[in-house]
Amino acid sequence: MMRILAFIIMLLMFSKNLVANEQIVLGLSQDEVAITANFDGSKILLFGAIQRDAPQPDGKMGVIITIAGPSQPIAVRKKEKRFGIWVNNQTVEVDAAPSFYAVATSAPFTEIVSDVEDLRNKISVERAIRSVGAPMHIQDSQSFTEAVIRIRKDQKLYQSLENEIVVDQSTLFRTSVDMPANLTEGDYFTRIFLTRDGKIVSQFDTIIDVKKVGLERFLFNLSRENPLIYGLLSLAIAIIAGWVASSFFRYIRHT
C-alpha cells in the first residue's frame, strides 16, 4: 500500500514538473496609455517568449492574449415601435461588462482552448461579461448580452482577433492591439495563456495603465472634486467663446 501511495505521489510531482517546464516571458511596447486632449487611439505591441526547462512537450500549442478594461454594470434597453413611436419596452441590468475587451489568438479560438477552460477562466468575449439573471418576464435575456457585444464591437471596444498572434519556432510570439480613442480610464488587466491540446498549461498576468494627463486630468479632477468651480469655469469659457466669435463676425462684417 505504501509503495502504491509513493508511486502516486511521484506521478503527481512528475506531472507538476511537466507543466512547470513551460513559462511565459512577456514584453510590452508600453505599459501606460496617456489620454490627452488630442488622443485618437494607440497601438499596443505585445511580444514574448516561452521559456522551457526541457524539450517541448507533445501536443498542439496555442497562445491567447486578453486585455480587459474596467468592468461596470450597464442597463440594456430594448425598444419597440408603438403607435409610430419608438419606446423602451424591456430593460435588463448586466452585472459587469468590461469597458474594453480584446482577445487575440494564434489559431482559431475553439481549436486551442476547450470550452471548459474558457468557462473557468472567462477568456472569450461572451464569457467576460457577467450577467447573473434577468427579470422573470424577460424571455430572451441572452439577446441583451449579445446586443452589448454587438454595439461595442461596432465601436471597436470589443475585438476578437483570431489568428493575429504570430508564433515563431514554437518559442517567440507577438501581436498588436489597437486601443480606440474612446477608452475608459483605469487599469487594463492583461492575461497571456499558453495552451496544449486545449488545456491551459501556463499563464502570465500584467497591467496596462490607461489614464488622463495634462489638461484632461486637471478638468477631470476638477469636475469630481470641485463641481461648482468646474461648472462656473465651463460657463465662463462658453461666454468668452461666444463673445470672441461675435466680435470676430462683427469685424468681418465691417471690413
**Reduced DSSP (H G I as helix, E B as strand, rest coil) percent helix, strand, coil of the chain, to 5:** 35, 40, 25
**Closest to 195 in 3D by CA, of 68, 67, 109, 101:** 109
What nine digits make up the cell of 119? 468557462
Element counts in the chain: helices (H) and strands (E): 7, 12
Write down the pTM of the prediction: 0.70
- Residue 118 is predicted with a pLDDT of 94
Dig out the grid coordinates for 172 from the structure: 517567440
Question: So what's the pLDDT on residue 133?
Answer: 57
Helix (H) or strand (E) holding 25: strand 22-28
Q: What is the DSSP letter of 90?
A: E
- Residue 12: its pLDDT value, please? 44
pLDDT at residue 192, rounded to an integer: 93
By the 8 A CB rule, do 165 and 149 touch?
Answer: no
pLDDT at 3: 45
Distances 109 to 66, 148, 200 between C-alpha atoms, Å: 12, 21, 13
With beta carbons less than 8 A apart as the criterion, state whether 67 and 183 touch: no
Measured over the CA atoms of residue 54, residue 55, residue 57 and residue 60, the dihedral's sign is: positive
Among residues 218, 186, 237, 214, the alpha carbon closest in space to that of 38 is found at: 214
- Indicate the residue type of 190: T
Tell me what pLDDT residue 189 has: 93
pLDDT at 173: 92
**For residue 101, which phi and psi values (nearest 5 degrees)?**
-150, 125
Tens place of pLDDT per residue across the chain (255 aa):
444 444 344 434 444 444 447 888 877 776 667 666 556 678 888 888 888 887 778 888 999 999 999 988 887 776 666 666 655 566 777 778 899 999 999 999 999 999 999 999 999 998 888 765 555 555 666 777 788 888 889 989 999 999 999 999 888 999 999 888 888 888 999 999 999 999 999 999 999 888 765 555 555 555 666 677 666 666 777 787 777 777 767 767 766
Hey, what's the cell of 47? 511580444
Which pLDDT does position 19 carry in this prediction? 44
pLDDT of residue 244: 74
